[in-house]
Structure 1
Amino acid sequence: MIRRAFLALALGGTSLMTSHAMADAYPVKPLRVVVPYATGGGSDIVARALGEKLSKKLGQPIIVDNKAGASGIIGTDAVAKAAPDGYTLLVTITQSVLTNQFLYNRLPYDPRKDLTLVNVIADAPLVLVTTPSLPVRSVKELADYGRAHKGKVSYASWGVGSYPHLAGAYFSKVTHGEMVHVPYKGEAPMLQDLLGGQVQWAVASVLSAKPYIQSGKLKAIAVTGTQRSQVLPDLPTFAEAGMDDNAFKVLGWIGLLAPVGTPAPVVARLDEEVRALIQTQDMQARFSALGLRPVGSTPAQSQAIFAREWPVWKTLVAESGAKLD
């Protein structure tokens, strides 16, 4: 019995030493960070900014690989099917690992079974904006106006299935406004038509909308999330404005993910280095310039965020009726 106990202790110690050794040795070759969207977007900029500094910390090159297409599905699937060794990682937005599950009837991957969240790097509140001519100044007044003008109020989005679409459809349904959805191919054309008065309101990124809010060309009503935006601190959240629905508390985020089965010591090393970088003044300034709020959550915290938001996105898509092929 003593011999068995001694052997178990020895094996446990060996396992512990192996884990530490694995973390210390990692990485021994270049890392590939897949971004499932085109260059120039938020996830791409974040991946390259982090990759540049993380490369120095890890002592290995980090190659950012843009595998765009099919609303993020192609690149996300490539990582989901990659070897779980810590050398192929994913930096992406919520759409490819959350929203797509409910928008598409079939996906080649299951984010809950094939991927693990290492770190929620940053998130971004959105802002509800209207044309100046729309006679509303609050969320309640927009709801009242919609009910009084059923079928005559339009809201814009930067695409079917995007958060502005889902949030707008949900708002229309719960306020019984029967508002009309007008989708665009991107945020820029959406804002141009909003400025031109072709549509009456939208949920937009704070960074893109801020110049128009400051110039008076758009009227800001409220922000999403559970806390006020540092960029627009005078604006209430939807909850503060009287709409305490989870639909307006979720935020789009940019996360670092790895294939399921990636060794825990490797995940821990990546998380430790990324969180340290997120806390630096330089990275904080870069995120702020993009309209992002630095987060840097641990793997456990990140996975809790994912689990908490999963049913919210499922409900939002179901309420909107949105489907993509």
Structure 2
Amino acid sequence: MIPYQKALAALACAAGLLTGNTAAAAPDAYPQQPVRLIVPYAPGGGTDSMARALARKLSEIWRQKVIVENRPGASESIAASAVARAPADGYTLLFASDSTFQLNPLLYNHLSYDPDKDLVPITRFAASPFALFVNADTPVKTFQDFLSYARQHKGKTFYGSYGVSNSTNLGLSWLSKQFDLDMVHIPFAGQGPAMIALLGGEIQILFGNIIPSSIGFIDQGKVRVLVVSGEQRLPNAPDVPTFRELGHDNLDTGYTLGLAAPAGVDPAIQRQIAEAVKQAVADPELIKYAAETLSIRLFAEPSGQYRDFIADSRRILQQRIEAAGIGKLDQ
């Protein structure tokens, strides 16, 4: 005679076969509940704005809420660790940038997560150049003016970034090294707090995105944009030259965005997430918003290409880190 517990298990299995509600079939129904999108930066910056725009579009595609949750600090490690510890069911995703997979393992002795073991890169879908902002109270009006100003205030020029192991820090650290400016670094939890510090005179220079809030400060004459990275001028800053135009190709810097999940998420669910993002970033309204409002270029790159990009990017960044003289850090 079959024990009571085994009988119940058999009945449950039969019910699953009849209804199609088996573990193997679960990915086909994804998502069946709201999805959390963890953003490593504070509200108000370009990364947060892009995350919220993508979340709205994914909510439409999936007909499920995609809830943005800001977890700023520790150069994306707080957010990355939260996702790494989450259940590997596809309902907690990380809005990852270059720090998550490339910079953090190169710059920190000990991380609270292992980017190669605890997380899986799902898709890379966005790239953005940086604009070089200065406080308008300084006499600086051009990039050459800034170099002269920083040399006159050597060791007393403060620059802001989105964290110690962030592209904004590495880019300005590299700039400081190239021109022997000895600038002082002050990290922040995102563009919003860093821009407030720039407006208040706490810092004199900042790499950031040209987004609606910063455009307002530009129009009010509170900050100036001296130069932008990237291959061409930005649509929302057509009068601002690029580093390449000024003959400084080696100063080009920016960041990319992707989605990651806890390691162990079903590959079928990973593919569904990547396909939904591909559909979202093909939307003409989202493309226009990203380009004209956030200075972000959208595309769709599958997991394999994302992994290749991470590997190639690490090699390039390692060279820049070594040249900038940035040693290993402890969080």
Q: How many equivalent residue pairs?
A: 302
Partner of 1:204: 208
Cα distance in 1, alignment partners of residues 286 and 296 from structure 2: 11
String of CA shifts for 1:286-324, please: whole Å, max 9, x gaps: 435751414232223333332332234445555263735
TM-aligned CA distance change 1:206 to 1:27, over 3 Å: same
CA gap 1:251/1:49 in 2 versus in 1, 3 angstroms: same
2:275 pairs with one of 261, 268, 272: 272
Change (3 A) 1:26 1:47: farther
Tell me how far 1:55 sits from its aligned partner.
3.8
Q: In the superposition, relative to structure 1, how do residues 276 and 294 fare at CA in structure 2: closer, same or farther (>3 Å)?
A: farther
Does residue 1:284 correspond to 2:273, yes or no?
Answer: no
Q: Distance in 2 between matches of 1:67 and 1:193?
A: 20
Indicate whether 1:295 and 2:298 are aligned. Answer: yes
The 5-angstrom pairing of residues 227-242 of structure 1 reads 227-242=232-247
Q: Summarize deviations over 1:237-288 as a string: whole Å, max 9, x none.
A: 222221112xx43422332112344444433322222111112133235435
Summarize the Cα distance change of 1:92–1:292 in structure 2 as closer, same or farther, 3 Å threshold: farther
Counterpart CA distance in 2 for 1:192 and 1:129 is 12
Aligned ranges 1:110-259 → 2 under 5 Å: 110-132=114-136, 137-143=141-147, 146-147=150-151, 149=152, 151=154, 154-158=157-161, 160-161=163-164, 162-183=166-187, 187-188=191-192, 190-192=194-196, 194-195=198-199, 199-207=203-211, 208-245=213-250, 248-259=251-262
Cα distance, 1:62 vs structure 2:
4.1
CA offsets 1:46-91 (integer angstroms, 9 cap, x no match)? 4444344434433555454555554432332233344544343222
Aligned pair 1:50/2:46, yes or no? no
2: CA distance, partners of 1:137 / 1:227? 20
CA distance in 2, matches of 1:193, 1:66: 20
Within 2, Cα distance between the matches of 1:192 and 1:66?
19
What one-letter code is carried by the residue in structure 1 that aligns with 2:226? Answer: I
Using the TM superposition, name which of 75-84 and 236-245 deviates more: 75-84
Structure 2 CA distance for partners of 1:69 and 1:153, relative to 1, 3 Å: closer
- Give how far 1:170 is off: 1.4
Deviation at residue 146 of structure 1 after TM alignment? 4.1
The 2-side partners of 1:59 and 1:23 are apart by: 17
Q: Give the superposition deviation at 1:114.
A: 3.0
Q: Distance in 1 between matches of 2:182 and 2:31?
A: 57
CA distance in 2 between partners of 1:310 and 1:290 (Å) = 29
Task: Work out whether 1:90 is the aligned partner of 2:94.
Answer: yes
CA shift in 2, pair 1:179/1:107, >3 Å: closer
Contact 2:131–2:209 under 8 Å retained in 1: yes
Deviates more, 1:121-130 or 1:54-63: 54-63
Asked if the contact 2:128–2:295 (Cα under 8 Å) also holds between the matched residues in 1, the reply is yes
Of 35-44 and 270-279, the range deviating more from structure 2: 35-44
Letter of the 2:244 counterpart: A
In the alignment, the residues of structure 2 paired with residue 188 and residue 81 of structure 1 have an alpha-carbon distance, to the nearest angstrom, of 28
Aligned counterparts of 2:188 and 2:216: Cα–Cα separation in 1: 20
CA RMSD of aligned residues (A): 3.6
1:78–1:201: structure 2 CA closer, same or farther, 3 Å change rule? Answer: closer
TM-score after normalising by structure 1: 0.74
Percentage of identical aligned residues: 29
Tell me the CA shift for residue 216 of structure 1.
3.7
Going from structure 1 to structure 2, the CA distance change for 1:191 and 1:228 (only over 3 Å counts) comes to same
Aligned residues of 2:41 and 2:47 also touching (Cα < 8 A):
no
Q: Which moved more, 1:303-312 or 1:133-142?
A: 133-142
Contact 1:224 1:250 in 2 (8 A): yes
Q: Note if 1:79 corresponds to 2:76.
A: no
Distance 1:69 1:184 in 2: 8
Amino acid at match of 2:114: D
**AA matched with 1:272:** E
**Unpaired runs of at least 5, structure 2:** 1-23
Distance 1:134 1:115, change over 3 A: same
CA distance in structure 2 between the partners assigned to 1:191 and 1:254 by the alignment: 21
